[in-house]
A and B are shown apart, each in its own frame.
Chain A
Amino acid sequence: MSELYELIPYLVLSITALVSTISVYLAIIEKDLIKAVLYSAIQSTFYALIFYLLMVPDIVLVYIPVSVGLLPAILIIAVKKTEKYEDVTGISKTTSTIILTLVVIFTLISGYLLLLSHAITFAIFPSTDVRTLARWFLNTTLWWNRMFSAMSPESVTAIVWDYRGLDTYFETSVMYLAIIGALALARYIEIPKKVFKEEAMGMSIIGKMATRIMVPMILIVAVSIALHGHLTPGGGFQGGVTAAVTVSLLIFIFSVYFAARFFKINTAILLRIIGLTGIILAATITLIIGFLTGQQAYIFQNQPKVIAQIGLPYEIGGNLISGTLLIFNTSEFLAVVMGFAILFLLLSIPEENVMEVIRGEVE
Chain B
Amino acid sequence: MSPIDFVLTVIGYILIGIGAFCQIVAGMGMNRFPNFFVRLHAATIAAIGGSFVPIIGCSLLALSFEELGDVRFFLAGGGFVAAVFLLILAPVGSHLLAKAAYFSKAAVLQPKVVDALEEDIRKGEVHE
**B96: A residues at CB distance < 8 A:** 203-204, 206-207
- Residue of A207, A213, A217, A232 near B95 (CB, 8 A) is A207
Interface residue B99 (Cβ < 8 Å from any Cβ of A): yes
Residue picked from B81, B91, B92, most chain A C-beta under 10 Å: B92
| Bound Cα distance from A203 to B96, whole angstroms | 8
| Bound Cα distance from A213 to B74, whole angstroms | 23
Interface residue B89 (Cβ < 8 Å from any Cβ of A): yes
Seen from chain B, the residues whose Cβ lies within 8 Å of a Cβ on chain A are 74, 81, 85, 88-89, 91-92, 95-96, 99
| Bound Cα distance from A217 to B99, whole angstroms | 26
Interface of chain A residues 179 through 226 with chain B (CB within 8 A): 203-204, 206-207, 210, 213-214, 217-218, 221
Q: How far is the CB of A362 from the nearest CB of chain B, in Å?
A: 38
Beyond A221-B81, A232-B74, is A210–B88 a contact (Cβ under 8 Å)? Answer: yes
Is B88 touching A214 in the complex (CB atoms < 8 A)?
A: yes
Could you jot down 20 A-B contacts, CB within 8 Å? A203-B96, A204-B95, A204-B96, A204-B99, A206-B91, A206-B92, A206-B95, A206-B96, A207-B92, A207-B95, A207-B96, A210-B89, A210-B92, A213-B88, A214-B85, A214-B88, A214-B89, A217-B85, A218-B85, A221-B81
**A213: B residues at CB distance < 8 A:** 88
**B91: A residues at CB distance < 8 A:** 206
| Bound Cα distance from A192 to B85, whole angstroms | 33
| Bound Cα distance from A207 to B91, whole angstroms | 9
Shortest 5 CB-CB distances between A and B: which pairs?
A210-B92, A206-B95, A207-B92, A207-B96, A232-B74
Complex: chain A residue closest to B74, CB-CB: A232
Q: How far is the CB of B71 from the nearest CB of chain A, in Å?
A: 8
| Bound Cα distance from A217 to B84, whole angstroms | 11
| Bound Cα distance from A213 to B89, whole angstroms | 10
Q: How far is the CB of B85 from the nearest CB of chain A, in Å?
A: 7
| Bound Cα distance from A207 to B90, whole angstroms | 11
Q: How far is the CB of A241 from the nearest CB of chain B, in Å?
A: 16
Complex interface bits, A278-295 against B, C-beta within 8 A gives 1, otherwise 0: 000000000000000000
Q: How far is the CB of B79 from the nearest CB of chain A, in Å?
A: 13
Interface of chain A residues 155 through 185 with chain B (CB within 8 A): none
**A210: B residues at CB distance < 8 A:** 88-89, 92
**B81: A residues at CB distance < 8 A:** 221
| Bound Cα distance from A204 to B103, whole angstroms | 13
Q: How far is the CB of A337 from the nearest CB of chain B, in Å?
A: 19
| Bound Cα distance from A217 to B89, whole angstroms | 12
Complex: chain A residue closest to B75, CB-CB: A232
**B95: A residues at CB distance < 8 A:** 204, 206-207
Complex: chain B residue closest to A206, CB-CB: B95
| Bound Cα distance from A354 to B88, whole angstroms | 37
Complex: chain B residue closest to A232, CB-CB: B74
Complex: chain A residue closest to B84, CB-CB: A217
Q: How far is the CB of A315 from the nearest CB of chain B, in Å?
A: 16
**A218: B residues at CB distance < 8 A:** 85
**B88: A residues at CB distance < 8 A:** 210, 213-214
| Bound Cα distance from A43 to B81, whole angstroms | 42
**A204: B residues at CB distance < 8 A:** 95-96, 99
**A203: B residues at CB distance < 8 A:** 96
Complex: chain B residue closest to A217, CB-CB: B85
| Bound Cα distance from A207 to B88, whole angstroms | 10
| Bound Cα distance from A210 to B91, whole angstroms | 10
| Bound Cα distance from A38 to B73, whole angstroms | 47
Interface of chain A residues 61 through 75 with chain B (CB within 8 A): none
Q: How far is the CB of B43 from the nearest CB of chain A, in Å?
A: 17
**B99: A residues at CB distance < 8 A:** 204
Q: How far is the CB of B30 from the nearest CB of chain A, in Å?
A: 15
**B92: A residues at CB distance < 8 A:** 206-207, 210
Complex: chain B residue closest to A221, CB-CB: B81
| Bound Cα distance from A232 to B95, whole angstroms | 35
Interface of chain A residues 254 through 286 with chain B (CB within 8 A): none
Q: How far is the CB of A222 from the nearest CB of chain B, in Å?
A: 12
**B74: A residues at CB distance < 8 A:** 232
| Bound Cα distance from A206 to B96, whole angstroms | 9
Q: How far is the CB of B113 from the nearest CB of chain A, in Å?
A: 24
| Bound Cα distance from A214 to B90, whole angstroms | 12
Interface of chain A residues 24 through 56 with chain B (CB within 8 A): none
Add 7 more A-B contacts to A204-B99, A210-B88 (CB < 8 A): A206-B91, A206-B95, A207-B92, A207-B95, A210-B92, A214-B85, A221-B81
Q: How far is the CB of A302 from the nearest CB of chain B, in Å?
A: 23
Complex: chain A residue closest to B92, CB-CB: A210
